[in-house]
Structure 1
Amino acid sequence: MADLQSYATLFLVFLVTALLVRTLFLKSQTKVRLPPSPMALPILGHLHLLGPLPHQAFHKLSKRYGPLISLRLGSVPCIVASSPQTAKEFLKTHELAFSSRPQNIAVGHLTYGTCGFAFAPYGPYWKFMKKLCVSELLGGRTIDQFEPVRREEMRSFVKLLLEKSKAQETGVNLSRELSNLTNNVVSRMAMSKRSSRTEGEADEVRVVVQAVANLVGTFNLGDYLGFFRKFDVQGFGKRIKDVHKRFDVIMERIIKEHEEERKKEKGGNGVKDFLDTLLDISEDDNAEIRLRREDIKGFIMDLFVAGTDTSSVTSQWALSELINNPIMCEKARKEIDSVVGKNRLVEESDIANLPYLQAIIKETFRLHPASPISLRQCTQDCKIKGYDIPANASVFINLWAIGRDPKYWDNSLEFRPERFMNDQNPTDVRGQYFHLLPFGSGRRGCPGATLALQVIHATVANMIQCFTWKVGHGEGNAKVDMKEGPGLTLPRAQPLVCVPVARLHPFPCIEI
């Protein structure tokens, strides 16, 4: 009987202890106050709510659940910010806690294990590369030194379009030609190579970089559901390895060519391309951080992905909007004619005197940001707007939704450059105004913003200065389809195919 009482007492103690532990656990759980969240499915979490265009899916959810929401994508906790106020909290108020980016399978392989710059963790290596970008590679002095390169490429681009106009081609794939233009600019600045109509190293790089941008922007189940990673059901891992190998072979060949040329031309006084600068640091025993070969390759990869498609895509969206809004296009054209005249091409130095053109580009950034989502990772527990943000959560700042927020923008879905012509609205695009963040903000803001702005303004200006544009095969007054496609850099769903009709012909500065 005593044994029975002892067992009963032990059972009672165990039961009370278990209930107490459960109560304390549940109580501790309720202390964590996450942002609002939709109903989740087992295992999948909220993956079923995402479509091929995550920025649009996030926007729909934010309209229902608010500007700050929490999601669970498979096993990954995520936070989505969709308003200027919440963006400011992540990018300024609590910036240090969100100065790293989440890693995924594609980034880990393609950037040589975060040897690049864009996805490197916040730390000494990233700080060194940022300082290098700002002071040397993408600083004002270097950008000015390469201005003749950009001017030459722009003239080649215009000349090509004039030839196509003269030949009365029934449709020019501007998406492809603009991609070639920006690729040539970046390629010549980075490694003194350019594409041609025949196969060349720069053209090989362009093809590989486009594949990289597609892979990084593609949804991969293995990033969110661990058991899929082993089986590679989408064939994602195989494609990544193939693209990485192709890029590595090309870059190794280009680096060896540079090394051979450096031996022959030691002490030369010409303008160094980016690769030469990186090689200088890799050979400097006194460098703050001595770059490895993988670091150089990873950085060049980042430079092409960030600098080629973004400028090309923005130029495509700007021209698309202007074709669909002919009155605005004519207003911009008259401004260019009055400032520049009709006897020469628009130069980068003219941009400061073309306020309506600047407004057009700002409005394009607002509606069509080349990077629709800014990715961050929480490195420590913190509170945002009274909600708990757990460490290691991925943060998606929806720049696309912020640019369309009706609380900050009148007629937010309309293309209206005039909204930026008001002296009372001095909105800049470099990260100081959180309702317009095409280049991000803070430490992780894009260091190539100045170069991108020069290229985009000059490209759009020359296209509307030199040509009138017809859609498709030039029949009637057809409109450009404005549907977006999936990808890292907000591409158009369909290539922009137009007929260029020369309006200034010939140019004294261009032989045709």
Structure 2
Amino acid sequence: MNPCMDASGATVLCFIFFSTIAFLIFKSLITRSKNSRTPPSPPRLPIIGHLHLLGSVIPKSFQALALRHGPLIQLRLGASTCVVVSNAQVAKEVMKTHELNFCNRPQFGSSEYFLYKGSGFVTAPYGPYWRFIKKLCVTQLLSSSQLARFVHIREHEIEKLLKSLMVCSTEGRASDLSFDLTALTNSILCRMAMSTTCFDQVNDAEEILGLVREFLHVGAMLSMGEVLGPLGKFDLFGFGKKLVKIVDKFDRVLERVLEEHEDKNSEAHGGHTCDMMDILLQVCKDPNTEVRLTRNDIKAFFLDIFLAGTDTSSAALQWTMAEILNNPGVLKKVRAEIDAVVGTSRLVNESDVPNLRYLQSVVKEALRLHPTAPFVLRQSSEDCSINGYDVKGQTRTLINVYAIMRDPQVWVNAEEFKPERFLEETDGSGGQRVIAMDGGDFRYLPFGFGRRGCPGSSLALTVIHVTVASLIQCFQWKIKDGVSMEEGSSFSAGLAKPLVCYPVTCFNPF
């Protein structure tokens, strides 16, 4: 037998074999593409996926991708896959039509290093534990009656801020409103949650504020490790160890405050107003509750409260003030309304807010342009169809509320700050009312929607309205180098630069 003929025949057989395999694979791919209805996806690179398409401001990057590829897109960020929703119609499908299927929130890498793993409320699976804590929030912890009990706390903290700004005014010094407003929201939250402030001897609130900021930074870095896939488990950059140390410090502060509350509650005296920690301790000791809370459950709840409430409320205040100062006509109208409703002999208070309609529209517009949580995070439980595409179970879903509330298809001059868009005539006499934008209007989602909407929205809005009104009523504001409206990088919702202003006292209520 000719060896050359054998070699030639073997080559032909190999060619036929591999050609057949290639054809079958190609046919399989073609068939799969015809049957598959996965959401559209931009062209991606090997390994990194779509990471190269993201700029420094993530919500804005996702918005730009949606304008090119549609309101529901699938992105591959390294080893992690998610779908991104960018208009009101698709958001309604996810958050209302398929609400029960999207009632869970995704877990990220930081949970692996979390001392309270399994106890957190914000990321807890939709089930008995989550429903129980949500019910506590609505009926006790953040109820309207509980908020009313602590009106004196909010008034006192705002008055302290105003007095410190008046000192700045007298001395001709600038004020870093970014710092001052964060300290304000943290002190209000600490006093309502566990009766401690930045001015206590042990500085619990000040320490908590520092730990919350560290947690947000390190937790974000660790969660970004999701793009590394299995490699993220090795904590290559040490963020996991840092997070463990931060939570351990937070735990020690909380343990000390818990013990103080237990000692106080064990004494035979009454008459004190129960803060959130008192309420949770009572629930913890009640043998008849639907769910028995542990000490870790209580601590995890407070960590969630501080993470969700301090910087977000502060960011909303900063953006609102920045927009007002950047629009002199708006500032003039807000001041005129306060003078007309409140007068010039007393400080504005919470009971005045329902009559300050233009102020309410200003805050609504600031939250539209600058949502404090640019993304609503959800995860599907089962396969479903969204906007005509197949979304598999366990898919991480990001609702880009930043893009939705700047959608030029539903908002006229979407990028402009126009508070008047939230006002409408009540009758022919020139009276106006604020357009509510609630009840499932998915064009406007600053606090999410449905079962997993923000339970603290009423508190946040109360603090924002009365604080902004007080700052406008008591001071003229001078800006040395103008108001920077640059947005923070990454997933941040805050201003990129501190809001530094010179307060000039124009009304002293003290």
Q: Given the two structures, how large is their TM-score scaled by the length of structure 2?
A: 0.91
Q: Does 1:106 align with 2:114?
A: no
Are 1:431 and 1:442, in contact at CA under 8 Å, matched by a contact in 2?
no
Structure 1 pair 146–232 and aligned structure 2 pair: CA distance change class (3 A): same
Q: Distance in 2 between matches of 1:442 and 1:124?
A: 17
With over 3 angstroms needed to count, the CA separation of the structure-2 counterparts of 1:430 and 1:203, relative to structure 1, is farther
Structure-2 residue corresponding to 1:467: 475
Which letter does structure 2 place at the counterpart of 1:438?
P
Q: Give the Cα separation in 2 of the matches to 1:20 and 1:41.
A: 25
The answer as to whether partners of 2:222 and 2:240 remain within 8 angstroms in 1 is: no
Matches within 5 A, 1:363-382: 363-382=365-384
- Which residue type is aligned with residue 420 of structure 1? F
AA aligned to 1:485 is G
TM-superposed CA distance for 1:13, in Å, is 13
Counterpart secondary structure, 2:436? coil
* Distance of aligned partners of 1:193 and 1:54 in 2 relative to their CA distance in 1, 3 Å threshold: same
Query: Which of 361-370 and 107-116 deviates more?
Result: 107-116
Instruction: Verify: 1:498 aligned to 2:506, yes or no.
Output: no
Q: Are residues 1:318 and 2:320 paired?
A: yes
- Counterpart of 2:8 in structure 1 is none
Can you list the C-alpha shifts for 1:462-495, whole angstroms capped at 9, x where unaligned?
01111111114xxxxx420111113655111111
Amino acid at match of 1:415: F
Cα 1:218–1:374 change in 2 (3 A) is farther
Give, in whole Å, the separation in 2 of the partners of 1:111 and 1:418: 47
Q: Helix, strand or coil for the counterpart of 2:424?
A: coil
Q: Partner of 1:207 in structure 2?
A: 210
Conserved 8 A contact 1:431-1:440: no
Partner of 1:5: none
1:187-220, Cα deviation, whole Å (9 max, x unpaired):
0010000002976011101111122222344474
Cα distance in 2, alignment partners of residues 108 and 190 from structure 1 = 27
* CA distance, structure 1, for counterparts of residue 277 and residue 95 of structure 2: 31
SS of the residue 1:374 aligns to: strand
Code of the residue aligned with 2:410 in structure 1: it is Y
* 2:261 pairs with one of 239, 242, 258: 258
RMSD: 2.4
Residue 35 of structure 2 is matched in structure 1 by 31
Partner in structure 1 of residue 80 of structure 2: 76
Mapped contact 2:478–2:501 kept (Cα < 8 A): yes
Answer yes or no: is the 8 Å Cα contact 1:213–1:488 preserved in 2: no
Q: Measured at CA, do residues 85 and 408 of structure 1 come closer, stay the same or move farther in structure 2, by a change above 3 Å? A: same
Match of 1:271 in 2: 273
For residues 4-15 of structure 1, the aligned pairs below 5 Å read none
Q: Provide the rounded CA distance (Å) in 2 between the counterparts of 1:249 and 1:17.
A: 63
TM alignment of 1:410-449, pairs within 5 A? 410-423=412-425, 427-428=435-436, 430=438, 432-449=440-457
Deviation at 1:130, TM superposition (A): 0.6
CA–CA separation in structure 2 for the residues paired with 1:449 and 1:431: 15
Q: Which amino acid in 2 is paired with 1:495?
A: P
The residue type equivalent to 1:436 in the other structure is: Y
Alignment partners' CA distance in 2, 1:198 and 1:265: 25
Is the CA contact (8 Å cut-off) linking 1:100 and 1:120 kept in structure 2? yes
1:235 aligns with 2:238: yes
Note if 1:335 corresponds to 2:314.
no
- Deviation for aligned residue 1:60: 1.0
Cα deviations by residue, 1:283-313 (Å, 9 ceiling, x for unpaired): 1111110111111111001111111111111
Contact 1:111 1:301 in 2 (8 A): no
Match of 1:244 among 244, 247, 268: 247
Q: Secondary structure in 2 aligned to 1:422?
A: strand
1:138: how far off?
A: 0.6
> What TM-score do you get using the length of structure 1 for normalisation?
0.90
Contact 2:39 2:74 in 1 (8 A): yes
Task: Report 1:133-152 matches (<5 A).
Answer: 133-152=137-156
- Comparing 393-402 with 216-225, which one deviates more in the overlay? 216-225
Partners of 2:423 and 2:435 within 8 A in 1: no
Superposition deviation, residue 270 in structure 1: 2.1
1:360-381 per-residue CA deviation (whole Å, 9 max, x = no partner) reads 0000011000001111111110
1:321-355 CA distance string (max 9 Å, x none): 11111111011001000100111111011000001
Cα distance, 1:110 vs structure 2: 4.2
Determine which of 130, 134, 137 is the counterpart of 2:134.
130
- Once the two structures are TM-superposed, the CA of residue 52 in structure 1 deviates from its matched residue by 3.3
Partner of 1:4: none
> What SS does the aligned partner of 2:361 have?
helix
| Structure 2 Cα separation of the partners of residues 241 and 26 of structure 1 | 48
Could you tell me whether the CA contact under 8 Å between 2:95 and 2:449 is conserved in 1? yes
Q: Partner amino acid for 1:181?
A: L
**CA distance, structure 1, for counterparts of residue 22 and residue 499 of structure 2:** 65
Q: Could you give the per-residue CA deviations for residues 382-404 of structure 1, whole angstroms, max 9, x where no partner exists?
A: 00111011111111111111111
2:9 corresponds in structure 1 to none
- Contact 2:335–2:472 (CA<8 Å) still a contact in 1? yes
Distance 1:102 1:108 in 2: 13
Identify the range of structure 1 (38-47 vs 65-74) with the bigger mean alpha-carbon deviation: 38-47
Matched, 1:454 2:462: yes
**2:44 match: secondary structure:** coil
Identity of aligned residues (%): 45
In 2, distance between residues paired with 1:448 and 1:111?
A: 24
Give yes or no for the alignment of 1:191 onto 2:191: no
2: CA distance, partners of 1:222 / 1:228: 8
Task: Confirm or deny: 8 A CA contact 1:430 1:441 kept in the other structure.
Answer: no
Instruction: Give the paired residue count.
Output: 489
Contact in 1 for aligned 2:101/2:380 (Cα 8 Å): yes
Extract unaligned runs of 5+ from structure 1: 1-11, 473-477
